[in-house]
Structure formats: structure tokens, C-alpha cells
């Protein structure tokens, strides 16, 4: 019983390690542009550099019509813990799918910005309000 309790406690601690409590989150916003135009509908993912991808919460945002995005950390809400991150972007669009549903279809960026082993973009989140410079994507 003690062993099971220890295992469960460790698993929960690891699962929460990425975001921690909501008071450790700092607002992060930015914009994604593709060839100078808003990449509306693209998904921005932040992965802690050197983090445990199996146990970290998803940190992500959806690019709006004007190109802007705001990051959310799993169940904790808006914001991101301070630290260094790899930035991954996918831009899947299926014009037939309903708005607000999970994106399906081919990545319009052909995976160039979604390779977790060789990320092309990086960001630093400070313990303050963070307005990142626009992420300019090219072919």
C-alpha cells in the first residue's frame, strides 16, 4: 500500500511539473506570420527545453485571424512557467471541418516547424508579462 501511494504521488508530481500551480504562470502572447500574413488557425506548441515530453502538460495556443496567439498551460489556464522553450507550429486546415474542432488534414508547413528533434524556433519566458516578437515562417 505504501509503495502504491509513493508511486501515485511521484506520478502526480511529474505530471504537474511542467506547469505547476497557476500562480507560477506568466502571460505569453505573440503572433505567427507566414510570408508576412497571419497564419490563422495554426497551433503553437511550447516544449520546455530538456523537459519530459511524456509528463509535461501541453502548452499551446491557436493563432487567431489577426495572427495573434495566447498560450494556455493544460488545465491550469493562461500562462506559462518561466524558462526556455522550443516552439513548434503546425498549420492543419480542413475547410470542411466545423470551427473549434480538432484540426485535421495536412500540415500546410509540411512539418518544417513541427520537428521536435530539430526545432527551428525558440523562446524564453520570463517571470513577467511576455509579448514575444512575431514568429515569421517561410518556405
pLDDT tens profile 43-75:
999 999 977 665 567 899 999 999 999 999 988
Please list the helix, strand and coil fractions of the chain in percent, rounded to the nearest 5, in that order.
15, 35, 50
CB within 8 A of 130, min separation 6: which ones? 26, 27, 28, 29, 80
- 56: cell is 509535461
Domains annotated on the chain, with CATH: 2-137 (2.60.40.10)
DSSP code of 94?
-
pLDDT tens profile 100-139:
544 568 999 999 999 999 999 999 999 999 999 999 999 8
Task: Label residue 44 left, alpha or beta by phi (over 0 means left) and psi (-120 to 50 means alpha).
Answer: beta
CB within 8 A of 24, min separation 6: which ones? 81, 82
- The CA distance from 55 to 106, in Å, is 27
For the full predicted model, state whether its pTM sits above 0.85. no
- The helix (H) or strand (E) run that includes residue 29 is strand 28-34
Q: Output 52-57 pairs: Cβ under 8 A, ≥24 positions apart.
A: 52/14, 52/17, 52/18, 53/116, 55/14, 55/15, 55/17, 55/18, 56/17, 56/18, 56/19, 57/15, 57/16, 57/18, 57/19
Amino acid at each position: 500500500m505504501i509503495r502504491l501511494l509513493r508511486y501515485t504521488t511521484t506520478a502526480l508530481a511529474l505530471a504537474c511539473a511542467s506547469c505547476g500551480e497557476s500562480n507560477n504562470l506568466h502571460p505569453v502572447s505573440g503572433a505567427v506570420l507566414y510570408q508576412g500574413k497571419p497564419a490563422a488557425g495554426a497551433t503553437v506548441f511550447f516544449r520546455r527545453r530538456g523537459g519530459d515530453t511524456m509528463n509535461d502538460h501541453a502548452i499551446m495556443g491557436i493563432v487567431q485571424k489577426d495572427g495573434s496567439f495566447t498560450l494556455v498551460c493544460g488545465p491550469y489556464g493562461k500562462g506559462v512557467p518561466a524558462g526556455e522553450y522550443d516552439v513548434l507550429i503546425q498549420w492543419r486546415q480542413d475547410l470542411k471541418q466545423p470551427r473549434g474542432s480538432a484540426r485535421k488534414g495536412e500540415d500546410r508547413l509540411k512539418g518544417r516547424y513541427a520537428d521536435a528533434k530539430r526545432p527551428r524556433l525558440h523562446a524564453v519566458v520570463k517571470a513577467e508579462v511576455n509579448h514575444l516578437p512575431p514568429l515569421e515562417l517561410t518556405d
